[in-house]
Chain A
Amino acid sequence: MECLGVVLQIKDNKAYLMTDSCEVVCIKKQPGMYEGMEITFDYSEKINISNTFVKYSSVVAGVAAVFIAIMLYIGMLPSNRIYAYIDVDLNTNWQLMVNKDNKVIDVKINDSNSKFLMEGLNFKSKPLDKVLVDMVEKLKNNGMIDLNSQNKVLITTCLNDDEIKDEEQGYKNLEPSFRKIKDELLDRNIETYFLKAESEDRKLAADNNISVGRYSIYKNSKEKGINIDLEKLKENNISEILEKVDVGNELDIDKSNTDQSNQNLIPTDNGKENNGDKNGNEKKGNDKNGNNKNENEKKGNESYNSEDIDLSLGGTGDIDALKSLEAANIETQKVIQAIQQQVYKNIANETEKANMEISKIKYDPSMSIEQKNKKIKEIESELIKKIEQIKKEGNEKAQAELSKLEKKAKDLLPQIK
Protein backbone atom coordinates (compact mmCIF):
# COMPACT_ATOMS: atom_id res chain seq x y z
CA MET A 1 0.00 0.00 0.00
CA GLU A 2 1.46 3.30 -1.08
CA CYS A 3 1.42 6.13 1.44
CA LEU A 4 2.33 9.77 1.42
CA GLY A 5 4.44 11.16 4.25
CA VAL A 6 6.68 13.94 5.48
CA VAL A 7 10.09 13.24 6.92
CA LEU A 8 10.17 14.42 10.54
CA GLN A 9 13.63 13.32 11.57
CA ILE A 10 16.55 11.36 10.19
CA LYS A 11 18.54 9.49 12.76
CA ASP A 12 21.28 6.93 12.17
CA ASN A 13 19.94 4.69 9.43
CA LYS A 14 16.28 5.44 10.08
CA ALA A 15 13.81 8.08 8.93
CA TYR A 16 10.73 9.02 10.96
CA LEU A 17 7.76 10.04 8.85
CA MET A 18 4.35 11.51 9.50
CA THR A 19 1.94 9.92 7.05
CA ASP A 20 -1.05 11.67 5.56
CA SER A 21 -3.25 9.71 7.98
CA CYS A 22 -1.28 11.29 10.88
CA GLU A 23 0.58 8.18 11.79
CA VAL A 24 4.21 8.43 12.76
CA VAL A 25 6.22 5.56 11.27
CA CYS A 26 9.83 4.63 10.95
CA ILE A 27 11.39 3.45 7.67
CA LYS A 28 14.87 2.82 6.41
CA LYS A 29 16.72 5.97 5.40
CA GLN A 30 17.00 6.48 1.67
CA PRO A 31 19.65 8.57 -0.06
CA GLY A 32 18.53 12.13 -0.78
CA MET A 33 16.09 12.25 2.11
CA TYR A 34 15.91 15.44 4.19
CA GLU A 35 13.63 16.70 6.97
CA GLY A 36 10.45 18.21 5.59
CA MET A 37 10.62 16.24 2.35
CA GLU A 38 7.34 14.83 1.21
CA ILE A 39 7.69 11.32 -0.17
CA THR A 40 5.63 8.34 -1.17
CA PHE A 41 6.57 5.02 0.31
CA ASP A 42 5.22 1.52 0.63
CA TYR A 43 3.57 0.85 3.99
CA SER A 44 5.33 -2.54 4.20
CA GLU A 45 8.68 -0.68 4.38
CA LYS A 46 7.78 0.36 7.90
CA ILE A 47 10.18 -0.83 10.61
CA ASN A 48 8.45 -2.14 13.69
CA ILE A 49 10.55 -0.76 16.51
CA SER A 50 8.98 -2.80 19.29
CA ASN A 51 9.50 -5.87 17.14
CA THR A 52 13.19 -5.21 16.69
CA PHE A 53 13.49 -5.08 20.46
CA VAL A 54 11.73 -8.42 20.83
CA LYS A 55 13.89 -9.89 18.08
CA TYR A 56 17.10 -8.78 19.75
CA SER A 57 15.95 -9.87 23.19
CA SER A 58 15.24 -13.35 21.87
CA VAL A 59 18.68 -13.50 20.28
CA VAL A 60 20.27 -12.35 23.52
CA ALA A 61 18.24 -14.90 25.48
CA GLY A 62 19.31 -17.64 23.06
CA VAL A 63 22.97 -16.72 23.39
CA ALA A 64 22.60 -16.63 27.18
CA ALA A 65 20.93 -20.05 27.15
CA VAL A 66 23.72 -21.54 25.05
CA PHE A 67 26.28 -19.96 27.33
CA ILE A 68 24.62 -21.40 30.43
CA ALA A 69 24.37 -24.79 28.74
CA ILE A 70 28.09 -24.71 27.98
CA MET A 71 28.84 -23.68 31.53
CA LEU A 72 26.75 -26.57 32.81
CA TYR A 73 28.45 -28.94 30.42
CA ILE A 74 31.92 -27.89 31.43
CA GLY A 75 30.87 -28.30 35.02
CA MET A 76 31.66 -24.83 36.22
CA LEU A 77 28.25 -24.25 37.73
CA PRO A 78 27.85 -27.39 39.85
CA SER A 79 30.74 -25.92 41.84
CA ASN A 80 33.01 -27.81 44.14
CA ARG A 81 30.57 -29.01 46.71
CA ILE A 82 31.61 -32.11 48.60
CA TYR A 83 29.24 -34.90 47.75
CA ALA A 84 30.91 -37.76 49.60
CA TYR A 85 33.93 -38.56 51.73
CA ILE A 86 35.76 -41.71 50.65
CA ASP A 87 37.98 -43.10 53.39
CA VAL A 88 40.65 -45.53 52.26
CA ASP A 89 42.43 -47.95 54.63
CA LEU A 90 45.37 -49.71 53.02
CA ASN A 91 48.44 -49.96 55.28
CA THR A 92 48.00 -46.23 55.61
CA ASN A 93 44.89 -44.09 55.72
CA TRP A 94 43.70 -41.22 53.53
CA GLN A 95 40.50 -39.51 52.59
CA LEU A 96 39.19 -38.39 49.20
CA MET A 97 36.47 -35.76 48.87
CA VAL A 98 34.46 -36.12 45.69
CA ASN A 99 31.80 -34.01 44.02
CA LYS A 100 28.59 -35.07 42.34
CA ASP A 101 30.38 -36.30 39.23
CA ASN A 102 32.66 -38.58 41.26
CA LYS A 103 35.53 -36.18 40.61
CA VAL A 104 38.03 -35.63 43.38
CA ILE A 105 37.98 -32.18 44.95
CA ASP A 106 40.40 -32.67 47.78
CA VAL A 107 42.66 -35.27 49.36
CA LYS A 108 43.48 -35.54 53.03
CA ILE A 109 46.29 -37.76 54.27
CA ASN A 110 45.74 -38.80 57.87
CA ASP A 111 49.07 -40.53 58.37
CA SER A 112 51.98 -38.13 58.67
CA ASN A 113 54.34 -40.81 57.31
CA SER A 114 52.43 -40.99 54.06
CA LYS A 115 52.58 -37.34 53.06
CA PHE A 116 54.61 -38.37 50.03
CA LEU A 117 51.34 -39.54 48.49
CA MET A 118 50.45 -35.93 47.84
CA GLU A 119 53.71 -35.11 46.12
CA GLY A 120 53.15 -34.45 42.45
CA LEU A 121 49.65 -35.86 42.67
CA ASN A 122 47.32 -34.19 40.22
CA PHE A 123 43.89 -34.97 41.62
CA LYS A 124 41.82 -31.83 40.97
CA SER A 125 38.63 -32.74 39.06
CA LYS A 126 39.97 -36.16 38.15
CA PRO A 127 37.78 -39.26 38.42
CA LEU A 128 37.79 -40.94 41.81
CA ASP A 129 38.93 -44.33 40.54
CA LYS A 130 41.92 -42.89 38.68
CA VAL A 131 43.16 -40.91 41.67
CA LEU A 132 42.77 -43.90 43.97
CA VAL A 133 44.65 -46.22 41.65
CA ASP A 134 47.37 -43.58 41.17
CA MET A 135 47.78 -43.39 44.94
CA VAL A 136 47.98 -47.17 45.27
CA GLU A 137 50.70 -47.16 42.60
CA LYS A 138 52.55 -44.53 44.62
CA LEU A 139 52.28 -46.65 47.74
CA LYS A 140 53.77 -49.52 45.79
CA ASN A 141 56.61 -47.40 44.40
CA ASN A 142 57.47 -46.22 47.90
CA GLY A 143 57.49 -49.73 49.23
CA MET A 144 54.50 -49.21 51.51
CA ILE A 145 52.71 -52.12 49.93
CA ASP A 146 53.80 -55.41 48.40
CA LEU A 147 51.60 -56.23 45.47
CA ASN A 148 53.04 -59.73 45.19
CA SER A 149 51.16 -60.83 48.27
CA GLN A 150 47.46 -60.70 48.92
CA ASN A 151 46.34 -57.31 50.25
CA LYS A 152 43.04 -56.01 51.48
CA VAL A 153 41.71 -52.50 51.31
CA LEU A 154 38.76 -51.03 53.17
CA ILE A 155 36.88 -48.25 51.41
CA THR A 156 34.39 -46.45 53.62
CA THR A 157 31.90 -44.08 52.06
CA CYS A 158 30.33 -41.27 53.97
CA LEU A 159 27.83 -39.15 52.09
CA ASN A 160 27.56 -35.46 52.82
CA ASP A 161 24.13 -35.07 54.41
CA ASP A 162 23.90 -31.40 53.46
CA GLU A 163 24.13 -32.23 49.78
CA ILE A 164 22.24 -35.48 49.51
CA LYS A 165 18.61 -36.01 50.22
CA ASP A 166 18.18 -39.50 48.84
CA GLU A 167 20.84 -41.72 50.36
CA GLU A 168 20.23 -44.71 48.14
CA GLN A 169 20.55 -42.61 45.03
CA GLY A 170 23.70 -41.13 46.49
CA TYR A 171 25.37 -44.52 46.81
CA LYS A 172 24.09 -45.54 43.41
CA ASN A 173 25.84 -42.53 41.97
CA LEU A 174 29.15 -43.77 43.31
CA GLU A 175 28.71 -47.35 42.17
CA PRO A 176 30.29 -47.06 38.72
CA SER A 177 33.45 -45.64 40.24
CA PHE A 178 33.54 -48.32 42.90
CA ARG A 179 33.12 -51.02 40.32
CA LYS A 180 36.10 -49.68 38.41
CA ILE A 181 38.15 -49.42 41.61
CA LYS A 182 37.32 -52.99 42.51
CA ASP A 183 38.41 -54.30 39.12
CA GLU A 184 41.55 -52.18 38.99
CA LEU A 185 42.65 -53.17 42.49
CA LEU A 186 41.86 -56.82 41.91
CA ASP A 187 44.35 -56.73 39.04
CA ARG A 188 46.91 -55.51 41.57
CA ASN A 189 46.22 -58.35 43.96
CA ILE A 190 44.21 -56.17 46.32
CA GLU A 191 40.84 -57.25 47.58
CA THR A 192 38.33 -54.46 48.14
CA TYR A 193 35.84 -54.18 50.97
CA PHE A 194 33.21 -51.47 50.98
CA LEU A 195 31.53 -50.01 54.04
CA LYS A 196 29.02 -47.23 54.59
CA ALA A 197 29.39 -44.68 57.32
CA GLU A 198 27.25 -41.91 58.75
CA SER A 199 28.34 -38.32 59.13
CA GLU A 200 28.25 -38.82 62.88
CA ASP A 201 30.68 -41.73 62.58
CA ARG A 202 33.06 -39.47 60.74
CA LYS A 203 33.03 -36.98 63.57
CA LEU A 204 33.33 -39.66 66.24
CA ALA A 205 36.19 -41.28 64.37
CA ALA A 206 38.00 -37.96 64.20
CA ASP A 207 37.42 -37.49 67.94
CA ASN A 208 38.86 -40.92 68.66
CA ASN A 209 41.80 -40.33 66.34
CA ILE A 210 40.96 -43.39 64.30
CA SER A 211 40.18 -43.83 60.63
CA VAL A 212 36.53 -43.82 59.62
CA GLY A 213 36.86 -47.31 58.16
CA ARG A 214 38.24 -48.78 61.35
CA TYR A 215 35.67 -46.96 63.40
CA SER A 216 32.91 -48.38 61.22
CA ILE A 217 34.23 -51.88 61.84
CA TYR A 218 34.17 -51.14 65.56
CA LYS A 219 30.65 -49.77 65.38
CA ASN A 220 29.30 -52.61 63.26
CA SER A 221 30.80 -55.20 65.56
CA LYS A 222 29.40 -53.44 68.57
CA GLU A 223 25.95 -53.50 67.04
CA LYS A 224 26.30 -57.25 66.64
CA GLY A 225 27.28 -57.55 70.27
CA ILE A 226 30.99 -58.03 69.73
CA ASN A 227 33.46 -56.03 71.70
CA ILE A 228 36.63 -55.14 69.91
CA ASP A 229 39.37 -53.21 71.59
CA LEU A 230 39.66 -49.83 69.90
CA GLU A 231 43.38 -49.67 70.61
CA LYS A 232 43.92 -53.04 68.98
CA LEU A 233 41.88 -51.86 66.04
CA LYS A 234 44.10 -48.83 65.70
CA GLU A 235 47.33 -50.76 65.80
CA ASN A 236 46.57 -53.82 63.75
CA ASN A 237 47.15 -54.02 60.04
CA ILE A 238 43.95 -53.53 58.07
CA SER A 239 44.49 -56.77 56.13
CA GLU A 240 44.64 -58.69 59.42
CA ILE A 241 41.54 -56.99 60.72
CA LEU A 242 39.62 -57.70 57.57
CA GLU A 243 40.76 -61.30 57.71
CA LYS A 244 39.46 -61.73 61.21
CA VAL A 245 36.32 -59.65 61.17
CA ASP A 246 33.60 -60.41 58.72
CA VAL A 247 32.73 -56.91 57.65
CA GLY A 248 30.81 -58.05 54.62
CA ASN A 249 30.39 -55.73 51.72
CA GLU A 250 27.82 -53.19 52.75
CA LEU A 251 27.76 -51.56 49.37
CA ASP A 252 26.29 -53.82 46.79
CA ILE A 253 28.34 -52.73 43.86
CA ASP A 254 26.80 -55.32 41.75
CA LYS A 255 24.61 -57.81 43.45
CA SER A 256 25.72 -60.85 41.58
CA ASN A 257 29.31 -59.72 41.81
CA THR A 258 29.43 -59.18 45.53
CA ASP A 259 27.56 -62.33 46.25
CA GLN A 260 30.12 -64.26 44.33
CA SER A 261 32.99 -62.57 45.99
CA ASN A 262 31.50 -63.10 49.40
CA GLN A 263 31.02 -66.73 48.71
CA ASN A 264 34.39 -67.08 47.17
CA LEU A 265 36.21 -65.30 49.89
CA ILE A 266 36.01 -67.94 52.55
CA PRO A 267 36.69 -71.07 50.59
CA THR A 268 39.58 -69.69 48.59
CA ASP A 269 41.24 -68.35 51.70
CA ASN A 270 40.96 -71.71 53.38
CA GLY A 271 42.22 -73.48 50.37
CA LYS A 272 45.27 -71.29 50.24
CA GLU A 273 46.03 -71.80 53.89
CA ASN A 274 45.72 -75.52 53.47
CA ASN A 275 48.06 -75.57 50.57
CA GLY A 276 50.61 -73.45 52.33
CA ASP A 277 50.57 -75.41 55.54
CA LYS A 278 50.50 -78.93 54.34
CA ASN A 279 52.72 -79.08 51.33
CA GLY A 280 54.26 -82.50 51.11
CA ASN A 281 52.21 -83.90 53.95
CA GLU A 282 50.49 -87.22 53.75
CA LYS A 283 46.97 -86.98 52.51
CA LYS A 284 45.30 -88.47 55.54
CA GLY A 285 46.97 -86.03 57.84
CA ASN A 286 46.22 -83.18 55.54
CA ASP A 287 42.57 -83.90 55.45
CA LYS A 288 42.22 -84.24 59.15
CA ASN A 289 44.25 -81.20 59.92
CA GLY A 290 42.52 -79.26 57.20
CA ASN A 291 39.12 -80.30 58.37
CA ASN A 292 40.00 -79.32 61.85
CA LYS A 293 40.98 -75.86 60.78
CA ASN A 294 38.14 -75.56 58.38
CA GLU A 295 35.68 -76.41 61.06
CA ASN A 296 37.17 -73.85 63.31
CA GLU A 297 37.05 -71.15 60.68
CA LYS A 298 33.62 -72.05 59.56
CA LYS A 299 32.41 -71.62 63.07
CA GLY A 300 33.95 -68.20 63.09
CA ASN A 301 32.47 -67.20 59.82
CA GLU A 302 29.11 -68.82 59.86
CA SER A 303 27.78 -68.78 63.34
CA TYR A 304 29.53 -65.52 64.06
CA ASN A 305 29.09 -65.76 67.79
CA SER A 306 30.32 -62.93 69.85
CA GLU A 307 32.59 -65.37 71.68
CA ASP A 308 34.11 -66.57 68.49
CA ILE A 309 35.14 -63.14 67.42
CA ASP A 310 36.25 -62.28 70.88
CA LEU A 311 38.64 -65.16 70.79
CA SER A 312 39.93 -64.26 67.40
CA LEU A 313 40.47 -60.66 68.15
CA GLY A 314 40.30 -60.67 71.89
CA GLY A 315 43.96 -60.15 72.61
CA THR A 316 47.42 -61.55 72.23
CA GLY A 317 46.40 -64.96 73.70
CA ASP A 318 44.64 -66.15 70.63
CA ILE A 319 47.39 -65.04 68.33
CA ASP A 320 49.97 -66.85 70.47
CA ALA A 321 47.88 -70.00 70.42
CA LEU A 322 47.54 -69.85 66.69
CA LYS A 323 51.24 -69.25 66.34
CA SER A 324 52.19 -72.22 68.52
CA LEU A 325 49.70 -74.33 66.64
CA GLU A 326 51.32 -73.32 63.41
CA ALA A 327 54.78 -74.11 64.82
CA ALA A 328 53.57 -77.53 65.93
CA ASN A 329 52.13 -78.08 62.53
CA ILE A 330 55.43 -77.29 60.86
CA GLU A 331 57.28 -79.55 63.30
CA THR A 332 54.94 -82.42 62.60
CA GLN A 333 55.46 -81.83 58.93
CA LYS A 334 59.20 -82.19 59.41
CA VAL A 335 58.85 -85.37 61.48
CA ILE A 336 56.54 -86.87 58.90
CA GLN A 337 58.92 -85.93 56.16
CA ALA A 338 61.73 -87.67 58.07
CA ILE A 339 59.57 -90.77 58.46
CA GLN A 340 58.82 -90.67 54.78
CA GLN A 341 62.49 -90.46 53.91
CA GLN A 342 63.25 -93.34 56.25
CA VAL A 343 60.58 -95.40 54.55
CA TYR A 344 62.00 -94.66 51.11
CA LYS A 345 65.48 -95.52 52.34
CA ASN A 346 64.37 -98.86 53.81
CA ILE A 347 62.50 -99.77 50.65
CA ALA A 348 65.54 -98.90 48.55
CA ASN A 349 67.75 -101.08 50.78
CA GLU A 350 65.43 -104.03 50.60
CA THR A 351 65.08 -103.79 46.81
CA GLU A 352 68.86 -103.60 46.47
CA LYS A 353 69.27 -106.69 48.59
CA ALA A 354 66.65 -108.52 46.58
CA ASN A 355 68.29 -107.45 43.31
CA MET A 356 71.65 -108.73 44.52
CA GLU A 357 70.16 -112.10 45.39
CA ILE A 358 68.38 -112.30 42.07
CA SER A 359 71.54 -111.53 40.13
CA LYS A 360 73.40 -114.16 42.19
CA ILE A 361 70.77 -116.72 41.32
CA LYS A 362 70.86 -115.75 37.70
CA TYR A 363 74.54 -116.42 37.37
CA ASP A 364 74.49 -119.64 39.47
CA PRO A 365 75.51 -122.48 37.06
CA SER A 366 74.39 -125.20 39.46
CA MET A 367 70.71 -124.30 39.10
CA SER A 368 68.41 -125.10 36.25
CA ILE A 369 66.40 -122.28 34.56
CA GLU A 370 63.19 -123.45 36.11
CA GLN A 371 64.71 -123.44 39.58
CA LYS A 372 66.12 -119.97 38.96
CA ASN A 373 62.77 -118.61 37.92
CA LYS A 374 61.08 -120.12 40.91
CA LYS A 375 63.61 -118.63 43.34
CA ILE A 376 63.45 -115.19 41.71
CA LYS A 377 59.67 -115.16 42.03
CA GLU A 378 59.96 -116.16 45.69
CA ILE A 379 62.40 -113.29 46.32
CA GLU A 380 60.20 -110.86 44.52
CA SER A 381 57.10 -111.74 46.49
CA GLU A 382 59.15 -111.53 49.67
CA LEU A 383 60.38 -108.08 48.67
CA ILE A 384 56.82 -106.86 48.04
CA LYS A 385 55.78 -108.09 51.47
CA LYS A 386 58.75 -106.38 53.08
CA ILE A 387 58.04 -103.09 51.31
CA GLU A 388 54.43 -103.21 52.42
CA GLN A 389 55.57 -103.86 55.95
CA ILE A 390 57.93 -100.87 55.83
CA LYS A 391 55.21 -98.64 54.45
CA LYS A 392 52.77 -99.78 57.09
CA GLU A 393 55.24 -99.00 59.83
CA GLY A 394 55.96 -95.59 58.35
CA ASN A 395 52.28 -94.80 58.10
CA GLU A 396 51.72 -95.83 61.69
CA LYS A 397 54.50 -93.56 62.84
CA ALA A 398 53.17 -90.63 60.80
CA GLN A 399 49.72 -91.30 62.12
CA ALA A 400 51.01 -91.17 65.64
CA GLU A 401 52.66 -87.83 64.97
CA LEU A 402 49.50 -86.44 63.46
CA SER A 403 47.34 -87.57 66.31
CA LYS A 404 49.82 -85.85 68.61
CA LEU A 405 49.38 -82.67 66.65
CA GLU A 406 45.65 -83.07 66.66
CA LYS A 407 45.69 -83.48 70.41
CA LYS A 408 47.81 -80.39 70.75
CA ALA A 409 45.48 -78.41 68.51
CA LYS A 410 42.51 -79.57 70.56
CA ASP A 411 44.34 -78.54 73.70
CA LEU A 412 45.06 -75.12 72.29
CA LEU A 413 41.73 -74.44 70.67
CA PRO A 414 39.60 -74.76 73.79
CA GLN A 415 41.92 -72.26 75.34
CA ILE A 416 41.03 -69.82 72.68
CA LYS A 417 37.38 -70.63 72.95
Chain B
Amino acid sequence: MQRRLIDYQRKNEKSSKVYPFSYFEEDESHDFEYRYLVERDTDHVYNFEVREEFASFVNKMKDFGITMDDLVKNMPKHRDSRKTCAKIAKYIAEDDELYKKFNTKKTIPFKDIADYIDVSQRTVERNRKYIIALVLILKSDLDIIKNYIKNLE
Protein backbone atom coordinates (compact mmCIF):
# COMPACT_ATOMS: atom_id res chain seq x y z
CA MET B 1 0.00 0.00 0.00
CA GLN B 2 2.78 2.36 0.95
CA ARG B 3 4.68 1.53 -2.18
CA ARG B 4 1.64 2.25 -4.31
CA LEU B 5 1.30 5.61 -2.71
CA ILE B 6 4.95 6.36 -3.42
CA ASP B 7 4.49 5.32 -7.05
CA TYR B 8 1.46 7.59 -7.41
CA GLN B 9 3.37 10.47 -5.92
CA ARG B 10 6.20 9.96 -8.33
CA LYS B 11 3.81 9.91 -11.28
CA ASN B 12 2.25 13.16 -10.19
CA GLU B 13 5.67 14.68 -9.81
CA LYS B 14 6.41 13.91 -13.44
CA SER B 15 3.17 15.38 -14.80
CA SER B 16 3.62 18.55 -12.82
CA LYS B 17 6.97 19.07 -14.55
CA VAL B 18 5.16 19.81 -17.82
CA TYR B 19 4.83 23.40 -16.77
CA PRO B 20 8.09 25.27 -16.40
CA PHE B 21 8.84 26.73 -13.03
CA SER B 22 9.19 30.18 -14.55
CA TYR B 23 5.41 30.30 -14.48
CA PHE B 24 5.36 30.17 -10.72
CA GLU B 25 8.13 32.65 -10.23
CA GLU B 26 6.81 35.41 -12.43
CA ASP B 27 3.50 37.06 -11.68
CA GLU B 28 2.62 34.24 -9.34
CA SER B 29 -0.91 35.11 -8.35
CA HIS B 30 -2.13 35.49 -11.94
CA ASP B 31 -0.54 32.27 -13.14
CA PHE B 32 -1.95 30.26 -10.32
CA GLU B 33 -5.39 31.60 -10.95
CA TYR B 34 -5.08 30.83 -14.64
CA ARG B 35 -3.89 27.32 -14.01
CA TYR B 36 -6.68 26.80 -11.60
CA LEU B 37 -9.21 27.88 -14.20
CA VAL B 38 -7.89 25.64 -16.93
CA GLU B 39 -8.00 22.61 -14.75
CA ARG B 40 -11.48 23.30 -13.51
CA ASP B 41 -13.08 24.22 -16.83
CA THR B 42 -12.19 21.25 -18.99
CA ASP B 43 -15.87 20.65 -19.62
CA HIS B 44 -17.40 20.65 -23.11
CA VAL B 45 -19.03 24.05 -22.87
CA TYR B 46 -15.70 25.69 -22.18
CA ASN B 47 -14.07 23.76 -25.04
CA PHE B 48 -16.79 24.89 -27.38
CA GLU B 49 -16.33 28.54 -26.44
CA VAL B 50 -12.60 28.36 -26.88
CA ARG B 51 -12.98 26.72 -30.27
CA GLU B 52 -15.35 29.42 -31.40
CA GLU B 53 -12.89 32.04 -30.27
CA PHE B 54 -10.08 30.45 -32.28
CA ALA B 55 -12.34 30.08 -35.34
CA SER B 56 -13.25 33.75 -35.21
CA PHE B 57 -9.56 34.63 -34.93
CA VAL B 58 -8.74 32.58 -38.05
CA ASN B 59 -11.64 34.26 -39.87
CA LYS B 60 -10.41 37.70 -38.89
CA MET B 61 -6.98 36.77 -40.21
CA LYS B 62 -8.64 35.80 -43.48
CA ASP B 63 -10.21 39.27 -43.65
CA PHE B 64 -6.70 40.64 -43.60
CA GLY B 65 -5.77 38.23 -46.35
CA ILE B 66 -3.53 36.11 -44.16
CA THR B 67 -3.58 32.32 -43.86
CA MET B 68 -1.86 30.24 -41.23
CA ASP B 69 0.60 28.99 -43.86
CA ASP B 70 1.57 32.61 -44.59
CA LEU B 71 2.09 33.21 -40.92
CA VAL B 72 4.33 30.17 -40.49
CA LYS B 73 6.37 31.13 -43.55
CA ASN B 74 6.85 34.76 -42.45
CA MET B 75 7.66 34.02 -38.82
CA PRO B 76 10.44 36.19 -37.37
CA LYS B 77 13.14 33.73 -36.40
CA HIS B 78 14.72 35.52 -33.45
CA ARG B 79 13.08 36.01 -30.12
CA ASP B 80 14.21 39.66 -30.07
CA SER B 81 12.51 40.50 -33.32
CA ARG B 82 9.35 38.76 -32.08
CA LYS B 83 9.61 40.92 -29.00
CA THR B 84 9.69 44.16 -31.02
CA CYS B 85 6.75 42.91 -33.07
CA ALA B 86 4.83 42.23 -29.87
CA LYS B 87 5.66 45.75 -28.70
CA ILE B 88 4.27 47.27 -31.89
CA ALA B 89 1.18 45.07 -31.69
CA LYS B 90 0.56 46.04 -28.11
CA TYR B 91 0.89 49.73 -28.98
CA ILE B 92 -1.71 49.41 -31.74
CA ALA B 93 -4.05 47.28 -29.65
CA GLU B 94 -3.99 49.64 -26.70
CA ASP B 95 -4.67 52.80 -28.74
CA ASP B 96 -8.32 52.78 -29.84
CA GLU B 97 -7.84 55.24 -32.68
CA LEU B 98 -4.92 53.36 -34.06
CA TYR B 99 -6.87 50.11 -33.82
CA LYS B 100 -9.79 51.64 -35.70
CA LYS B 101 -7.46 52.77 -38.48
CA PHE B 102 -5.84 49.37 -38.47
CA ASN B 103 -9.20 47.62 -38.75
CA THR B 104 -10.59 49.79 -41.53
CA LYS B 105 -7.45 50.04 -43.66
CA LYS B 106 -6.44 46.43 -42.89
CA THR B 107 -2.82 47.54 -42.67
CA ILE B 108 -0.45 48.71 -40.00
CA PRO B 109 -0.70 52.51 -39.61
CA PHE B 110 3.06 52.92 -39.70
CA LYS B 111 3.07 56.72 -40.02
CA ASP B 112 1.19 57.07 -36.75
CA ILE B 113 3.40 54.73 -34.80
CA ALA B 114 6.72 55.72 -36.36
CA ASP B 115 7.20 58.55 -33.86
CA TYR B 116 6.75 56.34 -30.85
CA ILE B 117 8.54 53.23 -31.93
CA ASP B 118 12.12 53.11 -33.09
CA VAL B 119 11.72 50.56 -35.89
CA SER B 120 12.36 50.97 -39.60
CA GLN B 121 9.43 50.71 -41.99
CA ARG B 122 11.14 47.83 -43.70
CA THR B 123 11.13 45.71 -40.56
CA VAL B 124 7.47 46.46 -39.94
CA GLU B 125 6.58 45.62 -43.52
CA ARG B 126 8.55 42.40 -43.41
CA ASN B 127 6.79 41.25 -40.24
CA ARG B 128 3.44 42.78 -41.17
CA LYS B 129 1.52 39.51 -41.05
CA TYR B 130 2.91 38.52 -37.69
CA ILE B 131 2.15 41.93 -36.18
CA ILE B 132 -1.41 41.82 -37.52
CA ALA B 133 -1.87 38.37 -35.97
CA LEU B 134 -0.59 39.59 -32.63
CA VAL B 135 -2.87 42.65 -32.68
CA LEU B 136 -5.85 40.41 -33.41
CA ILE B 137 -4.87 38.06 -30.59
CA LEU B 138 -4.49 40.91 -28.12
CA LYS B 139 -7.92 42.24 -29.09
CA SER B 140 -9.53 38.80 -28.72
CA ASP B 141 -10.35 36.71 -25.68
CA LEU B 142 -7.54 34.20 -26.29
CA ASP B 143 -6.22 34.40 -22.79
CA ILE B 144 -3.64 31.64 -23.05
CA ILE B 145 -1.87 33.30 -25.97
CA LYS B 146 -2.22 36.72 -24.43
CA ASN B 147 -0.32 35.27 -21.53
CA TYR B 148 2.39 34.01 -23.83
CA ILE B 149 2.78 37.48 -25.33
CA LYS B 150 3.00 38.99 -21.90
CA ASN B 151 5.70 36.47 -21.00
CA LEU B 152 7.60 37.29 -24.16
CA GLU B 153 7.98 40.89 -23.08
Contacts and interface: CB of A to CB of B under 8 A. Distances in A.
Interface in A1-42: 4, 6-9, 11, 16, 18-26, 34-36, 38, 40
Given A11-B68, A49-B69, A40 B18 contact: yes
Nearest to A6: B144
A35 B75 contact: no
B57 A49 contact: no
Interface stretch (B25-33, B45-53, B104-112, B117-125): B45-53
Interface in B100-153: 130, 133-134, 137, 142, 144-145, 148-149, 151-152
A315 B30 CA distance: 123
- Candidate in A7, A23, A50 with the most chain B CB atoms within 10 angstroms: A23
Given A6-B144, A8-B57, A36-B53, A22 B71 contact: no
Contacts of A19: 148
A35 B152 contact: no
Contacts, number: 69
A179 B47 CA distance: 86
A18 B148 contact: yes
Contact of B50 (A24, A35, A49, A50): A35
Nearest to B19: A4
Interface residues of B, number: 32
Interface residues of A, number: 23
- Candidate in B20, B51, B57 with the most chain A CB atoms within 10 angstroms: B51
Interface of B: 18-20, 38, 47, 50-51, 53-55, 57-58, 68-69, 71-73, 75, 79, 82, 86, 130, 133-134, 137, 142, 144-145, 148-149, 151-152
Given A16-B72, A21-B148, A24-B75, 11 more contacts: A6-B145, A8-B54, A9-B68, A21-B79, A22-B145, A22-B152, A36-B51, A36-B144, A38-B38, A49-B69, A49-B73
